[in-house]
Structure 1
Amino acid sequence: MQYRRFGKTNLCLSVFSLGTMRYLAGFENAQQTIEQALALGINHIETARGYGKSEEYLGGVLKAGLSVPRTRLHITTKISPTNDADTMRRCINESLEKLQLDYLDCLGIHGLNTWQHLEWVQAKGGCMQAVQEAVADGRVRHVGFSTHGSLEIILAAINTDFFEFVNLHYYYFFQRNAPAIQLAAEKDMGVFIISPADKGGLLYAPPQSLKDLCQPFSPLELNYRFLLSDKRIATLSVGPANPHELIEPLRFANSNRELTSEEICTFKRLENHQKATLEINQCSQCYACLPCPENINIPEVLRLRNLAVAYDMTDYGKYRYGMFENAGHWFPGMKANHCTECGDCLPRCPENLNIPALLEDTHERLNGKAGRRLWG
């Protein structure tokens, strides 16, 4: 296992962090998974108030005792933004009680996803007052935020200078947040990548065509290498449902060298294949088409189409497309069938794409079972 400095927190974190969102099989499974993670060199466990019984399970495991001393283990929990300090005070106290801890190494504002959330964070006497009190009395050591919001919101949140770290989405197949990575690095913030195997493309179960294009590497390996070769990134989350699911991702725990020429060529092959397959219908993800009068997240819809057409990543596309209209501010936007063909987006598209036709095609390809967040 390799370890990296987590920005201005000065914590030295394992390049893989144990996420605890998927502990659905009870306390004993959680205990076994945590112990296996520690045995494999992970020293950072991340949970959240909103992850079902995750905090309670982790607290029980900590109370029972671990093979690693508390001083060598870093614990993060996350609490959603609130519009007042009293609610945040109560939430911090409840999380510490569930975790059976005197202090948190890191507290993240969970899901700073909207402009209203940012207003709550910046408001005088708001939730950050309670957070700052907890820092002052030692119950919280470091403060950051997690986000599923737009790039503009992420940049604005980073620029508040309230935070020491950020948890965000950024993968080979989703590079929209690259400017946020750069800004966070310039401010010496720790960068934590959310769910690279799952949200990054269901890469633990890739389609055969994608596997063929990535040879001699696996799609999962290439995504991990894309991230771990970037020294601005400190740690990636791995969210196993059981101890066995730690084995495959942690094979890459030492893969933090610069990209090799063969890996660079493979990424170029993927890029060229997408261009050749999509031809004049490739969305370049410039976001100039927004805002949409019908609140369709056009770039994200067309990103999913890009991946489904170019790489046969249809299962991933259906998984993410099904979240529209079902996950609130965690995955905002209406499905593509709400397009009225108003033409508002057309003159703004530098590729002159027939956006209404592509939206219709995407809906036909990807519409299926409605999705939702694991913990709603």
Structure 2
Amino acid sequence: MKRRSFGQGRPVSLFTLGTMRALSSVEHMARVLEAAVDIGINHLETAPAYGPAEQFLGEALRSSSKIPQGNWVITSKLLPGLTFEEGQRQLNSILQRLGVKTLDNLAIHGINLPEHLDWVLQGDGAHLLDWALASGRVTQLGFSSHGSFALIKSALDCKRFSFCSLHLHLLDPQRLPLARWALNHGIGVMAISPADKGGRLQAPSATMRSDCYPVEPLALAYRYLLAQGVSTLTLGAAAPNDLSILKNLAQCDGPLNEQETKALRRLERLRKERLGNEFCKQCRGCLPCPNHVPIPDLLRLRNLAVGHDLVGYSQERYNLIGKAGHWWESVNASACKGCGDCLPRCPHQLDIPQLLADTHARLAAAPRRRLWG
């Protein structure tokens, strides 16, 4: 598998093995690791927040006889907001679990709010990151984020990080300008969950499969991001066979070919045709909403449900709203009061209140009937 530069650290394979799914046993993790070596992966992504993943990974690394050329590159994470002493303890525990003296890449796990970035830049967070580098425990620093465009840009601008992990997807490319800026400034970019969070494309709808024909949706999603120059894409394999799709993609890091370009254009054309004058183009001109409704993000889910019959994925994401803290949206379409404040700002004259009502009707889960009372 080809490798790309990744910030100031060692080059990484086009695909990164995410370790949050192979969790049944150490032996299970070891089998997935060996399959990753066979296919050419050299980069592992883990975190203390992934349950037993980090412990399983460390034990599997110690017992496995297979290693990639040049050894593994490992990324782990720390949550923001820790005290200096707690951060020291947690980083030492990461190194101990993984069985390494130096961690290649340490990411701040979820700079999702302004106070998370403040922690990085001053006080305990700043002291902790300085210590991690100066002590030789960490080679380079990065961050992941589910936050706003402006917050991610501020994190990239702060000159603290040499890599980032962002949600970049075929069906949601709004953060690609940030990725391009980062790459142009020597900052490595890892695409987080481009398959599952990108539309559950490992199990696409029949419509989505037909829309991308003759290219498989998952392959098109991966190739789209690689053609943009993204350093590496995560694949959270639950079993060795989950890596089989990479056999045909290990060397495919160039521009989209003619067949892929045609599939991408067909996908975009059919989405627009099905949505017609209800297609939200994600310009974000409707914001801010006085009731804090994240209008473009909700209408994007409607675009996918109507445009490609990705109903299961869209319902899953919609019904997570308000249940994931700062990791996802907190307000759904039912908060729209029909005030019309957004209407004159929409350059495409969408009836936004009506579309939000339709989004809620399509995607909201029916209340479950209680078994008592």
TM-score normalised by structure 2 residue count = 0.94
In structure 2, which of residues 174, 181, 184 is the aligned counterpart of residue 176 of structure 1?
Answer: 174
Residue by residue over 1:161-211, the C-alpha shift from the partner in whole angstroms, topping out at 9 and shown as x without a partner, is 100101001111011102211220121001100111111111111111111
Cα distance between partner residues in 2 of 1:157 and 1:363: 33
Q: Which moved more, 1:56-65 or 1:168-177?
A: 56-65
- Specify every segment of 5 or more residues in structure 2 that has no aligned partner in the other structure, as ranges: 368-373
Amino acid at match of 1:357: Q
> By how many angstroms is 1:143 displaced?
0.7
> By how many angstroms is 1:83 displaced?
5.1
> By how many angstroms is 1:302 displaced?
0.2
Q: Secondary structure at the match of 2:28?
A: helix
Q: Do structure 1's residue 286 and structure 2's residue 265 form an aligned pair?
A: no
> By how many angstroms is 1:157 displaced?
0.2
Taking a change above 3 Å as real, the CA distance of residues 290 and 249 of structure 1, as seen in their structure-2 partners, is: farther
Q: Do structure 1's residue 121 and structure 2's residue 133 form an aligned pair?
A: no
Partner of 1:356: 353
Q: Secondary structure at the match of 1:109?
A: strand
Contact 2:144 2:165 in 1 (8 A): yes
Contact 2:41 2:68 in 1 (8 A): no
Structure 1 vs Structure 2 CA RMSD? 1.7
Cα distance between partner residues in 2 of 1:343 and 1:215: 40
Query: Residues 109-188 of structure 1: matches in 2 within 5 Å?
Result: 109-123=108-122, 125-188=123-186
Partner of 1:374: none
Taking a change above 3 Å as real, the CA distance of residues 144 and 369 of structure 1, as seen in their structure-2 partners, is: farther
Q: Do structure 1's residue 276 and structure 2's residue 273 form an aligned pair?
A: yes
> By how many angstroms is 1:70 displaced?
9.2
> By how many angstroms is 1:108 displaced?
0.5
Q: Secondary structure at the match of 1:77?
A: strand
Cα distance between partner residues in 1 of 2:201 and 2:305: 13
Q: Secondary structure at the match of 2:58?
A: helix
Q: Secondary structure at the match of 2:190?
A: strand
> By how many angstroms is 1:63 displaced?
2.4
Residue by residue over 1:317-354, the C-alpha shift from the partner in whole angstroms, topping out at 9 and shown as x without a partner, is 11211221111111123111121112222222111211
Partner of 1:373: none
Q: Which moved more, 1:259-268 or 1:202-211?
A: 259-268
Query: Residues 195-274 of structure 1: matches in 2 within 5 Å?
Result: 195-231=193-229, 233-274=230-271
Cα distance between partner residues in 1 of 2:64 and 2:237: 21
Taking a change above 3 Å as real, the CA distance of residues 5 and 284 of structure 1, as seen in their structure-2 partners, is: same
Partner of 1:31: 30
Cα distance between partner residues in 1 of 2:58 and 2:87: 20
Taking a change above 3 Å as real, the CA distance of residues 328 and 250 of structure 1, as seen in their structure-2 partners, is: farther
In structure 2, which of residues 307, 312, 315 is the aligned counterpart of residue 310 of structure 1?
Answer: 307
Partner of 1:2: 2
Taking a change above 3 Å as real, the CA distance of residues 249 and 65 of structure 1, as seen in their structure-2 partners, is: closer
Partner of 1:321: 318
> By how many angstroms is 1:25 displaced?
1.3
Cα distance between partner residues in 2 of 1:302 and 1:69: 43
Cα distance between partner residues in 1 of 2:366 and 2:166: 26
Cα distance between partner residues in 1 of 2:247 and 2:125: 37
In structure 2, which of residues 327, 331, 335 is the aligned counterpart of residue 330 of structure 1?
Answer: 327
Partner of 1:96: 95
TM-score normalised by structure 1 residue count = 0.93
- Specify every segment of 5 or more residues in structure 1 that has no aligned partner in the other structure, as ranges: 371-376
Cα distance between partner residues in 1 of 2:235 and 2:33: 12
Structure 1 segments, 4+ long, off by >6 Å, are none
Partner of 1:56: 55
Q: Secondary structure at the match of 2:67?
A: coil
Q: Do structure 1's residue 343 and structure 2's residue 340 form an aligned pair?
A: yes
Cα distance between partner residues in 2 of 1:289 and 1:160: 29
Contact 1:164 1:190 in 2 (8 A): yes
Contact 1:102 1:139 in 2 (8 A): yes
Cα distance between partner residues in 1 of 2:299 and 2:165: 24
Q: Secondary structure at the match of 1:118?
A: helix
